Amino acid sequence: MRPVNLLPQSARPYVASGKAGNGSYVLLGVLAALVLGVAGYVLTSNSISSHKSEIAQAQQETAAAQAKASSLQKYGDFNQVAATRLQSVSSLAVSRIDYERLLRETSRVLPGGVWVTSLDAEAVGGGTTSTTSTTGAAPTVHLVGCAPSQRAVATTLVRLRAIHGSDEVQLNDSGRPLKIGSAAQGGDGGDCGTNFAFDIVVNLTNEVTGYGDLGQKVPATLGGGS
């Protein structure tokens, strides 16, 4: 026979039911999940804020570096300009022609009765030259002058080959002043009178400038050192 509790409900001892216990566990689980979610959100927000701070600092450092580079740019430009000018001056010094030596040698090799009315030397050769393997264009010397005869002109061509560094001697024109260009008749060419006027181009090798072998000396017969 099943026992029956005759005590009123208010007098009976409290006994927790199984359903009520399970509900408490569910509530605690929900609260724990909420706490974990809030904690994760806070941690993520802090991490994002930290990365934003690092990005802002990196941008500031980049801006500072760019400003410093801009302030130093003028020094870099000055250095480049100085290097360019130094190279230009070096090129001019290397390719220059020693006019004093050239005139001294020319005066020594010219035969008697022959004189020059115009002499022009160019570091960059305007005429043809057989020296094409050296660095830079070979220099040339353009001479206009007068000679008593065509034989004297021929002798002049031969003797001009004795100039230090002479590679090739070319006769552009030779004749009485009335037969050749006005350059030999008047102005810079002078007046040859009844003599023969000549127009000669001497192609020099690069050794007479800084491009060639500076160790070679001018022969003593042309005024060079021993």
Read off the pLDDT band of 221 (50, 70, 90): low
On the question of pLDDT at 153 being above 90, the answer is yes
Predicted pLDDT at 78: 77
Q: For 109-118, 133-142, 178-187, which range has the lowest pLDDT when averaged over its residues?
A: 178-187
Residues 124, 97 contacting (CB under 8 angstroms): no
Predicted pLDDT at 129: 37
CA dihedral 32, 38, 43, 45 (to 10 degrees): 170
How much of the chain is in helix, strand and coil states, percent to nearest 5? 50, 15, 35
Predicted pLDDT at 219: 58
Q: Distance (Å, rounded) from C-alpha 178 to C-alpha 168? A: 27
Of 97, 137, 119, 117, nearest in space to 197 by CA: 117
Q: What is the DSSP string of 83-121?
A: HHHHHHHHHHHHH---HHHHHHHHHHHSPTT-EEEEEEE
pLDDT tens across 132-152, in order? 344 456 788 999 999 999 999
Residue 138 backbone phi and psi in degrees, to 5: -75, 145
On the question of pLDDT at 213 being above 70, the answer is no
Q: What is the average pLDDT score of the chain?
A: 76
Predicted pLDDT at 111: 92
pLDDT tens across 75-109, in order? 777 778 888 888 887 776 666 777 888 888 888 99
CA distances from 144 to 8, 65, 109, 168, 174 (A): 150, 65, 15, 16, 10
Read off the pLDDT band of 204 (50, 70, 90): confident
Predicted pLDDT at 169: 92
Domains of the chain: which residue ranges? 20-95, 99-208
Q: For 11-15, 35-39, 65-69, 202-206, which range has the lowest pLDDT when averaged over its residues?
A: 11-15
Predicted pLDDT at 110: 92
Using CB atoms within 10 A of its CB, is residue 12 exposed (0-12), middle (13-18) or buried (19+)? exposed
Q: Which residue has the higher pLDDT, 197 or 127?
A: 197
Single-letter amino acid code for the residue at 70:
S
Read off the pLDDT band of 65 (50, 70, 90): confident
Report the interhelical angle of 150-160 vs 99-109 (nearest 10°).
130
On the question of pLDDT at 64 being above 90, the answer is no
Q: Distance (Å, rounded) from C-alpha 163 to C-alpha 200? A: 14
CA distances from 45 to 34, 48, 145, 166 (A): 16, 5, 96, 86
Q: What is the DSSP string of 145-188?
A: EEESSHHHHHHHHHHHTTSTTEEEEEEEEEE-TTTS-GGGTSGG
CA distances from 99 to 38, 96, 126 (A): 93, 9, 17
The edge-to-edge listing of strands for the beta sheet with 140-147 is: 115-122, 140-147, 196-204, 166-175
CATH of the domain spanning 99-208: 3.30.70.2830
Read off the pLDDT band of 196 (50, 70, 90): very high
